[in-house]
Amino acid sequence: MRLITRGLVILLLFVGSIMAAEGNHVRVFTADNSDGKITPKTIQAAFEKAGFFVEANNDMNTPFKRDFKNTHHDVYNLMVLWRKDTAMALAEKYPNFGLFSPMSMSIYTPKGAKTISVSSLSAAGISSVTGIPADEKALVDLDKKVEEVLKTAMPKGKFETLPYKMKASSEPMIVSVEFDQKGDDWEEAKDAIEMDFEGRLAPNGFVSPAFVDLNYDFDENDKEWYSFYEAYSICSIPVIYTVSKLHPEAGALAPCTMYFYQKNGEKKMHIGFPSIQKWISALNIEDKESIDILVEAQKKFEAILAEITKK
């Protein structure tokens, strides 16, 4: 069994060095919204009309007010969405595809502003984490489709020039764990892991706003690549509250998606999620408060995975 975090054997996927010359991986599309007609709901409707499945579109100001008695933005939503055709095209060759199936976006309006913005991760950004080539057709098509929908949902909008360049980084972009199936029945083993995992989220400050059984659609199309393939959207409200103060576009990376899968005919199970290094590099995060809370959250999540996968 290979486990993550300090003092344990680590299985980390290194996906090359991220060079600032590539341009920012997080992009922000902004439109005038003086009349208030563009809302998180109208943006969600546009994505759904274009064939995306929206699993969550949560008003984060509600928990921010509840937990911190404060908000940073007049509007701040986190939307979780995916496309079946993208997943189908990538799943056989690239098991890491689930790190962004579903993907995340933030929808926000700064206090007092008459604009609305949507952040998303580019194909190059997804590639930098998953290892899927940025010119892979399914990624290119996804990139184009997101841009098309944004232009439809937010007329006269445009991509902003962000006030920073992402940091170069040679740190691992994924934290993953591989472990042996317990017993002969993979379904029983999977269910036990999931029950244990889900029970540890809230006590450690995490929530899961969305869950997708990706293998359901593979089975429906007679694709027997996996015994199971599931994706959990995982969010820490204190983390996104803290980081979004200076970087509202952080919603392109939050909630994070954790994959959990087993290939057909194998006895190994796999769990993985994006490292906080992607946040720090892509958003050029420099403030100590944000970095500290990200590091703390990753330590807690690594500890959860270490516990649920140990013999």
Tell me the per-residue pLDDT of 210-220, one tens digit each, with 9 for 90 and over.
999 999 999 99
Report pLDDT digits (tens) over 90-99: 999 999 999 9
Residue 175's closest CA among 84, 32, 295? 295
pLDDT at position 23, please? Answer: 82
CB 227 within 8 A of CB 71: no
To the nearest 5 percent, what fractions of the chain are helix, strand and coil? 40, 30, 30
Q: Would the pLDDT of 12 be above 90? A: no
Q: What is the mean pLDDT of the chain?
A: 92
Containing 196, the helix (H) or strand (E) segment is helix 186-201
Instruction: Look up the pTM and report it.
Output: 0.92
Read off the pLDDT of residues 106-143 as tens digits, 9 standing for 90 and up: 999 999 999 999 999 999 999 999 999 999 999 999 99
| Residues contacting 80, CB < 8 A, separation 6+ | 54, 55, 56, 57, 102, 103, 104, 209, 210, 233, 255
Q: Kindly list the strands in the beta sheet with 11-13, ordered across the sheet, starting from the edge strand earlier in the chain.
A: 11-13, 174-180, 268-274, 256-263, 226-235, 207-213
- pLDDT for the residue numbered 170: 81
Is the per-residue pLDDT at 179 higher than 60?
Answer: yes
Percent of the chain with pLDDT over 90: 90
Average pLDDT over residues 2-31: 55
Average pLDDT of 164-190?
93
CB count, 10 Å around CB of 186?
A: 17
SS3 call for 206: coil
pLDDT per residue over 273-310, tens digit each? Answer: 999 999 999 999 999 999 999 999 999 999 999 999 98
For 43-56, letters b (16+ CB in 10 Å) and e give: bbebbeeeebbbbb
pLDDT at residue 1, rounded to an integer: 44
Instruction: State how far the Cα of 310 lies from the Cα of 58, in Å rounded to an integer.
Output: 34
Residue 171 CB contacts under 8 Å (≥ 6 apart), including other chains: 275, 277, 281
Q: Map out the domains of the chain with their CATH numbers.
A: 22-309 (3.30.310.70)
pLDDT at 17 over 60: no
Q: What is the pLDDT of residues 44-91, one digit of tens each?
A: 999 999 999 999 999 999 999 999 999 999 999 999 999 999 999 999
pLDDT in the model for residue 22: 54
